[in-house]
Amino acid sequence: MLAFHNPLHRGHAPVHEFFRGERVPCFENPTRADYVESSLRARGHRLLAPDADSSTVLGQVHAARYLAFLEGAWQQWLALDTANASVQPFPSVWPVRTLRSDREPDNFIARLGLYSMDNGTPLAAGTWAAAKAGADAAASAAFRVDAGERAVFCCTRPPGHHAGPDFMGGYCFLNNAAVAAQALRDRGADRVAVLDVDYHHGNGTQSIFYGRGDVLFVSIHGDPRTEYPFYLGHADETGEGEGEGCNLNLPLPAGTTATAWFAALEQACARIARFGADALVVSLGLDTFEGDPISRFALACADFSRLGARLAGLKLPTVLVLEGGYATAELGTNAGNVLDGFEQ
């Protein structure tokens, strides 16, 4: 399968995050992409550098002031103190209910809170360049699919599906799947379906398209009553306005194994078929794997081949976008199994 990689992903390399109150090494690190890329190369898949500029599409799925903040954030952080080059900024205050989010505070950390949903998404020197190149890879994949390619894989990090219209979160900054879906719409697909199979609910993608009837969002994920992102992803979220009925959440309890997971996948595929999509974007999180260190589903390596085959069975032009998945060695195996299962 044709794939686009992200030549700048290594510039996004924050050192630590918070996990159960402790500072721990980042789960979302450059070695993830190394494992996936080397597995794909070993299996004979082609990996190209992005050949499209996503700037216009980014402006359709993210707020202008959020994009401007993200692009300049590291420079603003350094401007406070040159010693900040080796310090990770974390937000510490957020505009929750009753507080105003219409004004950008002058304080950098307060601005960071305005544009963040959690304190688990550290910025690094090369974050903007890496995230932008990833969005370029997603747009490149969408354009190739529009040009007639059966399926294209966007092999990128940082991931994207938690990033909403104007915020980062869950290791995500720019919503690559939303970029791919919007790029397909711009190139003439009347209806696009986004299927999110990451362990975590794709709150960002859902929010970006929640009021739209031209993009269906379907997600299978850990029940938000116990799993991140907690505040979105329930079954009663069905879309609003023109998007009413165009959002389907299929939350499953922690511990779910292959039988129940694939039953949910059948429901998801039935909804996508009924929607009459012209193209499909898959938010391909691999953290449903039984060995994933931060997730609690129990898919085995072979299940990812089955997933790929089922996705191919939808018979739609397809962009697959890498999202989460944190078990390094098997990450390459599982990504390769999805692609090979798709093409078998």
Instruction: Please identify the residue of the shown chain whose CB is closest to the bound ligand Q9C.
Output: 324
Least distance (Å) from Zn ion to the CB of residue 285?
4
- What phi and psi, each to the nearest 5 degrees, are found at residue 34? -60, -45
List, as one string, the DSSP characters of 148-214.
T-SEEEEE-SS--TT-BTTBBBTTBSS-HHHHHHHHHHHTT-S-EEEEE-SSS--HHHHHHHTT-SS
> Considering only residues 74, 153, 199, 275, which one is a binding residue for Zn ion as defined by CB under 5 A?
199
Binding flag, residue 28, Zn ion (CB under 5 A): no
Q: Which does 19 bind (CB under 5 to 8 A by kind): Zn ion, ligand Q9C, none?
A: ligand Q9C
Q: Are strands 318-322 and 279-284 parallel, antiparallel or unpaired?
A: parallel
Least distance (Å) from ligand Q9C to the CB of residue 230?
10
Catalytic positions, written as ranges: 162
Two tokens, residue 56: 């216009």
Q: What's the CA gap between 50 and 258, in Å, rounded?
A: 34
Judged by beta carbon, residue 239 or residue 324, the one nearer ligand Q9C is 324
Judged by beta carbon, residue 134 or residue 285, the one nearer ligand Q9C is 285
Q: Which does 196 bind (CB under 5 to 8 A by kind): Zn ion, ligand Q9C, none?
A: none
279, containing H or E segment: strand 279-284
> Considering only residues 5, 132, 185, 200, which one is a binding residue for Zn ion as defined by CB under 5 A?
200
Judged by beta carbon, residue 162 or residue 212, the one nearer ligand Q9C is 162
Positions that interact with ligand Q9C (CB under 6 A): 17-19, 120, 159, 162, 170-172, 198, 200, 228, 285, 287, 294, 323-324
Q: What's the CA gap between 285 and 322, in Å, rounded?
A: 6
Least distance (Å) from ligand Q9C to the CB of residue 198?
5
Judged by beta carbon, residue 142 or residue 286, the one nearer ligand Q9C is 286
The position carrying tokens 């879309």 is 239
Q: What's the CA gap between 267 and 5, in Å, rounded?
A: 31
Binding flag, residue 90, Zn ion (CB under 5 A): no
